[in-house]
Structure 1
Amino acid sequence: MEPILLEKENHEVLSQAGQDPEKRGQILAGAREVFLDRGFDAASMGDISRAAGVSKGTLYVYFKDKVDLFTALVQTQCNETAECTFAMDARGDIVEVLGKVGHSYVAMMVRPENIATLRIVIGAAGKFPQIGKEFFEAGPRQGARRLAAFLRSKVEEGALDIAEADLESAANQFLALCKEAVAMPILVGAAAPPDAEHTDRVVRRAVSFFLKVYGTDRIRA
């Protein structure tokens, strides 16, 4: 058999088994459009198949139902966001790295599409708890774990004093300091996204407070 024909056959087999990454990405892109426009309850698999440009049969080859599809979409979005938001150099200056993470985290949290997704997750999780669980693991918990790994490197350098068992908790505390006064008002529709000056004040206070609690004498000096 000619190599080009073999390659084509392999591609078709993968596609039929629901493993073609391009087709999967195409479906997720269409699903994202529909979910953000209509919410979880109003979105249908028919709507999604039309938006993605695939048949409903193809849709069900890749995802067993709407919950499975939305969960996959949330996981993908969270993973992509984490790669950008929590890209940290363990050798970097702790004040600069925390400041950069804080700014990236706030910018990510207040992005309209992320606020919309979070609202959908909150609305759907009551009926489908697995959606909330998968979102928490892929989103908030993944971010805290990535930040905790950076904090661990600074504990080993002697810049921070945090027990190993408390690293993830400390990471969550820093992220909460950055987001709580900013994200919650936007989430409930009580405020617009903050300007750069306000975000900078929030992040600088978060870094300062965090280092006062966990920084060693070397950092506090």
Structure 2
Amino acid sequence: MPRVAGQIDVAKTEAILDAAVEVIGQRGLGAPMEAIARQAGVSKQTVYNHYGSKAELVRALMARRVAAITAPLRESGAIDNPGEALEAYARSMLETVTTTKSYSILRVIIQGAGEMPDVAQEVFEAGPRQARRQLAAFLEVETQLGRLKVEDFDQAAEFFSGMVMGHSQLRSLLRLPSDKTAAEFDGVAREAAQRFMRAYAP
């Protein structure tokens, strides 16, 4: 059965973003849009129709990544089980640490930030800052419901993220092998969620 226009558009969007991860990860921020289009199997004009600039394309990459990481905060039951939601969110963050493609993009962006500050700004806004905002919003709802007692939502979100990631993110950015097993990462996620819930108990 043929796909409708909307399905084709979504497929092209995903193909472009997947191609961007591969090409930018291998060739850096200076990778031409033509190379991304070729990898995606679409025309250069199609890429520009979807994303008018390299900055917009990278922003979309970060937005997709954040949506996947923060999904546990939006899933059914997250509000009823805030501890479980935070543990799942922590596990989701830690999974990105062991994903080579995910961090290859961050590495090349850091390397090229001096030459392309507009792209670096887009990455920060659509990536780390947006993830923290979504976690802060989750904590605000939990506080309103009386299950947590948080006064500074942004600060608490920063505390939780730092507690979870620790040196794992830096090790990944430096291309150092992980010093934890999958089971140990699960333990970190569980312990961080439990300690956070106790620290901000009403």
Report which stretch shifted further, 195-204 or 50-59: 50-59
Deviation string for 1:149-174 (max 9, x for gaps)? 222232223332212xx112101211
TM-score (norm 2): 0.79
Unaligned residue ranges in structure 1 (runs of 5+): 1-7, 12-19, 217-221
Alignment of 1:12-161 (within 5 A): 20-41=9-30, 43-79=31-67, 81-82=68-69, 84-88=71-75, 89-161=77-149
What is the number of residues matched between the two proteins?
Answer: 196
Q: In the TM superposition, what is the alpha-carbon distance from 1:61 to its structure 2 partner?
A: 4.2
Return the offset for 1:58.
4.1
- Cα distance change, pair 56–151 in 1 and its aligned pair in 2 (3 A): closer
Structure 1 contact 85–108 (Cα < 8 Å) conserved: no
Q: Which 10-residue stretch deviates more, 70-79 or 201-210?
A: 70-79
> In the alignment, residue 190 of structure 1 is paired with which amino acid?
L
Counterparts in 2 of 1:48 and 1:172: CA distance versus 1, 3 Å:
same
State whether residues 110 and 193 of structure 1, in contact with CA within 8 Å, keep that contact through their aligned partners in structure 2.
Answer: no
CA distance in 1, matches of 2:56, 2:137: 30
Q: Which residue of 1 aligns with 2:173?
A: 187
In structure 2, what is the Cα distance between the partners aligned to 1:146 and 1:61? 29
Distance 2:55 2:83 in 1: 41
- CA RMSD after TM alignment: 2.8
Mapped contact 2:97–2:169 kept (Cα < 8 A): yes
1:199 is displaced (CA, Å) by: 0.9
Post-superposition Cα deviations, 1:30-63, rounded to whole Å, max 9, x if no partner, equal 323211222223x223322321223334444444
Alignment CA distance shift 1:29-1:101 (3 Å): closer
- Greater radius of gyration (CA): 1
Amino acid at match of 2:20: A
Question: Equivalent pairs: percent with the same residue?
Answer: 32
Give how far 1:101 is off: 1.7
Unaligned regions of 5+ residues in structure 2, if any? none
Runs of 4+ that moved beyond 6 A: none
Say which structure, 1 or 2, has more relative contact order (CA 8 Å, 6+ apart): 2
